[in-house]
């Protein structure tokens, strides 16, 4: 499925979220804005969002609790300007997929959008997990890393962020693949 990722950005109007919105639009995402937790929740109830980036000042744990109470499963990424470590950790513990510091970094925004696009594409793949049956774990890992790296046009930082591994781990894995004779982008 090749439609644009639908992103909800929730936070104070005129904040660094405006730059995040511009970057997301530049990456081909559809963007909606909400100024309050209540407005964000109302938008999420419509089901027209693939990913929500919520400023930690809007109480991300409470928003995630509201989403769960209403059986809504939109992935949430917490974000914020000069947020405390406690705010970021509370958001992650409540169920946020990640924390993105603001002002936003173009690669982090692209990685978040790529994650959602990749998950959606995989959900609609009729082969699903059946394509992995009979392959070794190392072969599946190699294919996943190389495909993600290819999707990120060779950008190791973005690919690492999508896979949830450190850049060092990515570098070490790629060295292993090259030593085994696989072409690495």
**Structurally, what CATH architecture does the domain formed by 6-123 represent?**
3-Layer(aba) Sandwich (3.40)
Hey, what CATH class is 128-179 in? Answer: mainly alpha
- Could you read off the pLDDT tens digit of each residue along the chain, which spans 185 residues? 456 778 888 888 776 777 777 777 777 778 888 889 999 999 988 877 888 889 999 999 999 999 999 888 888 988 888 788 899 899 999 998 888 887 766 677 667 666 665 555 444 444 456 666 777 888 888 888 988 887 777 888 888 888 889 999 999 999 999 998 888 87
Q: What is the pLDDT of residue 124?
A: 44
Take residue 31 and report the two structure tokens written for it.
């963007």
Rg value, the chain, Cα: 18
The segment(s) of the chain belonging to CATH 3.40.50.2300 are: 6-123
SS3 for 61-85 is: HHHHHHHHHCCCCCCEEEEEECCCH
CA–CA distance, 151 with 166 (Å, rounded to integer): 18
Give the strand order in the sheet containing 6-10: 30-34, 6-10, 51-55, 76-81, 98-102
Q: Say what the pTM is.
A: 0.58
Helices and strands, number each (H, E), in the chain? 8, 5
Task: Enumerate the β-bridge partners of residue 93.
Answer: none
Taking residue 134's Cβ as centre, other Cβ atoms within 10 Å add up to: 7
* Exposed/middle/buried for residue 63 (C-beta within 10 Å: 0-12, 13-18, 19+): buried
Report d(CA 86, CA 151) in Å as an integer: 33
Residue ranges matching CATH 1.10.10.60 in the chain? 128-179
Q: Please tell me the predicted confidence (pLDDT) of residue 61.
A: 95
Half-sphere exposure of 167 (CA within 13 A, CB side): 5
């Amino acid at each position: 499925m090749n439609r644009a990722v639908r992103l909800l950005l929730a936070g104070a109007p005129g904040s660094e979220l405006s730059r995040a919105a511009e970057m997301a639009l530049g990456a081909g995402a559809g963007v909606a804005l909400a100024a309050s937790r209540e407005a964000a929740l109302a938008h999420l109830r419509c089901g027209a969002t693939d990913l929500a980036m919520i400023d930690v000042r809007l109480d991300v744990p409470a928003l995630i609790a509201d989403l769960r109470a209403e059986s809504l499963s939109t992935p949430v990424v917490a974000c914020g300007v000069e947020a405390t470590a406690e705010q970021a950790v509370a958001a992650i513990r409540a169920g946020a997929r990640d924390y993105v510091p603001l002002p936003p970094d173009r690669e982090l925004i692209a990685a978040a959008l790529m994650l959602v696009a990749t998950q959606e594409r995989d959900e609609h793949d009729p082969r699903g997990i059946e394509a992995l049956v009979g392959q070794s774990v190392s072969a599946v890992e190699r294919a996943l890393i190389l495909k993600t790296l290819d999707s990120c046009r060779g950008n190791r930082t973005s690919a690492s962020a999508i896979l949830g591994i450190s850049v060092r781990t990515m570098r070490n894995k790629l060295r292993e693949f090259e030593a085994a004779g696989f072409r690495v982008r």
